[in-house]
Amino acid sequence: MIYELAAYDYPKVKSLFAPMRDHLAVTSILADKTPGKIVVDDPRNPRAALAAIKRRRLFLVGDTRNDQFNRALAQFFADTLYPQAIQAGDKLFGLYFEPRDWEDRLRVILPDKSPTQPLRQHYLLKHPVRDWRALLPTDFSIRSVNRDLLADARIQNREELIEEMRSERASVDDFLKKSFGVCLIHADAIAGFCLSEYNVDTACEIGIMVGEPFRRRGLATALASAFIARALLRGVTQIGWHCYARNLASAATARKVGFELEREYTIFQAGYQ
């Protein structure tokens, strides 16, 4: 059996999710600041738990040896998560897990999948040193992500930005109330954006994208530096950056703007269909 926790019961699993402290997504769910779902093996005394954010990011923690819970998780995936994800058009999910013993339970929990186990990296901002204005070519500009930007009919390519704003938050309005970000503008079109994710108190993580025609020109460095400057002005004191180890460009950008590698970890990744 599995049981879904109400938000007022989230403190019961706080200690279980302690090994996930590098993931603000989990911290944000537990603080009831990001919409999510948490299911457990025992609602009174949970020993294992799964947290989900819109079916794309899943976080599995606790005792790996409860076979009944593991089989119930497999049924939860098959009966609930997979149909919802397919209906929503989701393609992939990432399953983050601690301890590593969960690897041995993979065949039970995901019996119909052959997930890959990509290596990911977590960076923290240590030395913000870049002046973004000196890095930005004269034919580009930086704009804050706000209602004025979204209402500006001259600005093209807003769809991907809006989709990303909704990827964590319940709506665009929810993003504008709780998060922040900057956009890279070129010829009245959005060429890239850098947004805060999973804001909790004075901490957040970074989500960054630069359009393909504008890559390998140092623009991601300028964009991330502009975001960091805005974040520090807002009183943010901790900024995290997660990326795939194979994404050499993302890792290089993180290092260029003052991030240092904290740790590497693997996840399970698979398609919903």
Asked whether residue 271 is domain-assigned, the answer is no
Whether the link from the prior residue into 99 is cis, omega within 30° of 0, is: yes
Asked whether residue 273 is domain-assigned, the answer is no
Asked whether residue 226 is domain-assigned, the answer is yes
pLDDT of res. 216: 87
pLDDT of res. 112: 87
18 and 96 together in one domain = yes
Task: Say if residues 271 and 92 touch (Cβ distance below 8 Å).
Answer: yes
Of 115, 143, 161, which residue sits at a domain end?
115
Determine how many CB atoms are found less than 10 A away from the CB of residue 149.
Answer: 18
pLDDT of res. 51: 96
**Backbone torsions φ then ψ of 171, nearest 5 degrees:** -165, 170
209 and 236 together in one domain = yes
101 and 171 together in one domain = no
Task: Say if residues 190 and 183 touch (Cβ distance below 8 Å).
Answer: yes
94 and 190 together in one domain = no
CATH number, domain at 212? Answer: 3.40.630.30
Asked whether residue 270 is domain-assigned, the answer is no
- The residue range of the domain holding 12 is 3-115
pLDDT of res. 114: 87
Of 67, 93, 115, which residue sits at a domain end?
115
44 and 108 together in one domain = yes
CATH number, domain at 78? Answer: 3.40.630
Task: Say if residues 12 and 253 touch (Cβ distance below 8 Å).
Answer: no
**Strand partners for 102:** none
**Helix (H) and strand (E) counts for the chain?**
10, 13
109 and 136 together in one domain = no
148 and 214 together in one domain = yes
Burial of residue 194, with CB atoms counted within 10 A of its CB: 0-12 exposed, 13-18 middle, 19 or more buried = buried
Rounded distance, CA 193 to CA 5, Å? Answer: 35
Distances (CA, A) of 35 to 51, 170, 173: 11, 7, 14
Rounded distance, CA 58 to CA 73, Å? Answer: 12
219 and 172 together in one domain = yes
Of 66, 93, 115, which residue sits at a domain end?
115
DSSP structure class, residue 130:
-
Which stretches of the chain are DSSP H helices?
24-30, 67-76, 82-88, 106-109, 132-135, 147-151, 158-168, 172-178, 219-233, 248-256
pLDDT of res. 91: 85
Q: Which of 94, 27, 15 is nearest to 54 (CA)?
A: 94
Domain total of the chain: 2
Token pair, residue 12, equals: 């019961």
40 and 129 together in one domain = no
Token pair, residue 263, equals: 């740790």
58 and 99 together in one domain = yes
Asked whether residue 129 is domain-assigned, the answer is yes
Task: Say if residues 23 and 59 touch (Cβ distance below 8 Å).
Answer: yes
pLDDT, averaged per 10 consecutive residues of the chain (273 residues), comes to 94 96 95 92 97 89 96 93 85 93 92 92 92 92 96 91 89 94 96 96 96 90 96 96 96 96 95 80
Asked whether residue 18 is domain-assigned, the answer is yes
Rounded distance, CA 267 to CA 96, Å? Answer: 5
Token pair, residue 113, equals: 């999948």
249 and 131 together in one domain = yes
57 and 143 together in one domain = no
Task: Say if residues 240 and 61 touch (Cβ distance below 8 Å).
Answer: no
